Structure 1
Amino acid sequence: MMRVLGRITSINVRKVLWALDELGESYEREDWGMPLRNPHEPEFLALNPNAQVPVVIEEDGPTLWESNAILIYLAQTRKALLPLEPHALGQSLQWLIWQATELNPPWMYAVHALARKTPGYDDQAKIAESIAGWTRRMAILEGELAQGRPFIAGESFSIADIALALSVHRWFITPFADKADLPSVAAYYDRMRAREAGARWMPDDTV
């Protein structure tokens, strides 16, 4: 039995939960992360000194943090959710890393301002800058998906699709005007939400 520490409003926690559901794994989840439970408590810091969710604790296994590292660990130990063919494997890991390093950072200000209504995120110039950077990255994803493959690394669903689909969900659910038309991304989003676990972890009321 795996313990997952983290709140479900975290996109990174939902990555792990989606993967576990795809694998048919049993797990217990505990609420951690503000505003539910402060991850700076000593109990949590002993597990992850960065005070970030998720953390996973596997019986007779490691304690891990960093969502993409957890995804790779699950795929490697369960022999699933990653392609075996080297080129497809490289593509999957490429897009998994791109999601974290290129796609995620630009949206932060816009999501806080427009979706979460976080106090202090009301600078219109910074909102516009955030949306512009986000849109440029989404256009890169649109170009890749327009090549017609059902999944980001080819014919097989992988952990990269989990990470990207959750990011795409955030794009569609964050309200702002003049959102770019991305038909291939929209079709991909529909395919990912057609999966049972995808529908569960990309609900309409969670950014």
Structure 2
Amino acid sequence: MLKILGRSSSINVQKVMWCAAELGVEVERADIGGKYGGNDTPEYLGLNPNGLVPTMEDGEVVLWESNTIVRYLAETRGGPPWLATDAAGRGLASQWMDWYLTRMHPPMTVIFWGQVRTAPGDRDREAEKKAAGQAGRLWRLVEAQLEKHDFITGGEPTIGDIPIGCSVNRWYLLDVDRPALPRLAAYYERLKERPAYREHVASITME
């Protein structure tokens, strides 16, 4: 059975668990990292020298980096619509996965850490406000993409929706001044209609 090492509250673990559930993959998950610890043991570092989560064990295959694991699952257990059959479609989905990682993840992390993992007296509210402005501008790019179709790359969800879909959940849970983005809000509602998304993303408490 596929094993995922990482706590459910990690957004990176959520990516993998949501993807696996959509593909019908049975997963054995272990709480590692955060309040559970265990990510600094010699055994864990032997699997993932970064000491971060998630780590995937699939028989003799060991992978870390959540986007890589999502791609691996789609390639080994998936198919349309989650993994396009043509190179252009796969490239477009990967483009948005990488865009999230390089552009959206940094400002969203500043907001999340400030509001969820920092004591009120230690928060840098100016940094959070600046990051929220940056994120808002980036979410406008997603809004424009959603003018074309219901999901990030087309009429059905693909792996390109996985990172953005996990992040949009936090965008609507965090206390930020959000611009009016009706297509993004509708996208979030469509995602919440999916049982796998509700179980592994929308229902998980931020911590």
Q: TM-score w.r.t. structure 1 length? A: 0.92
Compute the displacement of 1:72 (Å). 0.6
Q: What is the match of residue 103 of structure 2?
A: 102
Q: What is the match of residue 132 of structure 1?
A: 133
* Paired-residue identity, %: 36
5 Å-filtered alignment, 1:1-207, equals 1-59=1-59, 61-80=60-79, 81-114=82-115, 116-119=116-119, 121-147=122-148, 149-176=149-176, 178-204=177-203, 206-207=205-206
Gaps of 5+ in 1: none
Gaps of 5+ in 2: none
- If asked which structure has higher relative contact order (CA below 8 Å, sep 6+), I would say 2
Q: Secondary structure at the match of 1:46?
A: helix
Distance between the aligned counterparts of 1:173 and 1:86, measured in 2? 35
Compute the displacement of 1:205 (Å). 5.1
Q: Secondary structure at the match of 1:24?
A: coil
Name the stretch that deviates more: 70-79 or 44-53.
70-79
Q: Secondary structure at the match of 2:160?
A: helix
Q: TM-score w.r.t. structure 2 length? A: 0.92
Compute the displacement of 1:86 (Å). 3.0
**Aligned AA (2:68):** A
Name the stretch that deviates more: 193-202 or 65-74.
193-202
Q: Is the 8 A contact 1:57 1:63 kept in 2?
A: yes
Distance between the aligned counterparts of 1:172 and 1:122, measured in 2? 20
Distance between the aligned counterparts of 1:203 and 1:192, measured in 2? 9
